[in-house]
Amino acid sequence: MAADEPLSVDDLLAGYRRGVFPMRDDAGHIGWYTVDPRAIIPLDGFHLSRRLARTCRNAGFEIRINTCFTTVMQACAASTPDRPSTWIAPSMVVSYTALHQAGFAHSVETWRDGGLVGGLYGVAIGGFFAGESMFSRERDASKVALVALVARLRAAGFVLLDTQFLVGDHMRQFGAIEIPRFEYLRRLHAATRLPVRF
């Protein structure tokens, strides 16, 4: 699929329900991918360090939900000195904004003094949430958004938080684990059938 060809809401939902996700490759084309094993964060095993807990309480961050979804996704897609290119194509911002407008994609945002300083976005279907990407303009701002996401998912009755890959120790510090694809698909199918809402 060409990089400038947006995916439809139906295509995105069908893909996530099958356990695949879209990414742009180095040639600029969007394809569907899966990984085995698959990385998840068990919601009942989420690890919050004492230092990060103090930051959540005392650093003066404000959490907002779904107030600037497209801006969050654009921030996640922006190049940085450490990451000159990204897997998020411009057409994907269009596609996921449509998915957000349909009620299936969501942003968790970290604000300070009226400015957006971090956040994340992902896809929710039933009791399943796929965390797609996160960004931070201040230390720990994206981590604070993740803590808020996990609290919201637990309160709503979600059972599966998908992080797709385990790269380095970034997600391991929160208790992320890898499970075989067949087990992931079993959990995915059960989770997407739950009558819960983000």
Pairing of strands 128-136, 160-164: parallel
Is residue 2 assigned to a domain?
Answer: no
Is residue 97 assigned to a domain?
Answer: no
Is residue 88 assigned to a domain?
Answer: no
- Average pLDDT of span 16-21: 98
Range of the domain at 112: 35-83+104-192
Report how far residue 10's alpha carbon sits from residue 27's, in angstroms, rounded to the nearest whole number.
25
State residue 77 phi and psi, 5-degree precision.
Answer: -85, -15
Is residue 117 assigned to a domain?
Answer: yes
Nearest alpha-carbon partner for 7 in 103, 89, 128, 73: 89
Write the CB contacts of 98 (distance below 8 Å, at least 6 apart in sequence): 6, 8, 9
Residue 162 structure tokens:
């998908």
Average pLDDT of the chain is 93
- Say which CATH number the domain at 111 has: 3.40.630.70
121-135 pLDDT, tens per residue?
Answer: 999 999 999 999 999
Peptide bond into 37 cis (omega under 30): yes
Is residue 96 assigned to a domain?
Answer: no
Nearest alpha-carbon partner for 136 in 144, 147, 125, 124: 144
136, 72 contact by CB (below 8 A): no
Is residue 99 assigned to a domain?
Answer: no
Q: Name residue 51's beta-bridge partners.
A: none
Total Cβ atoms within 10 A of residue 121: 28
Is residue 45 assigned to a domain?
Answer: yes
Reported confidence tier of residue 26, pLDDT bands at 50, 70, 90 = confident
- Average pLDDT of span 42-53: 94
175-186 pLDDT, tens per residue?
Answer: 999 999 999 999
How many domains does the chain divide into? 1
Report how far residue 170's alpha carbon sits from residue 154's, in angstroms, rounded to the nearest whole number.
21
pTM over 0.75: yes
Report how far residue 153's alpha carbon sits from residue 190's, in angstroms, rounded to the nearest whole number.
16
pLDDT at 94 over 80: yes
State residue 166 phi and psi, 5-degree precision.
Answer: -110, 105
Residue with tokens 């992902």: 122
Is residue 123 assigned to a domain?
Answer: yes
pLDDT score at 62: 97
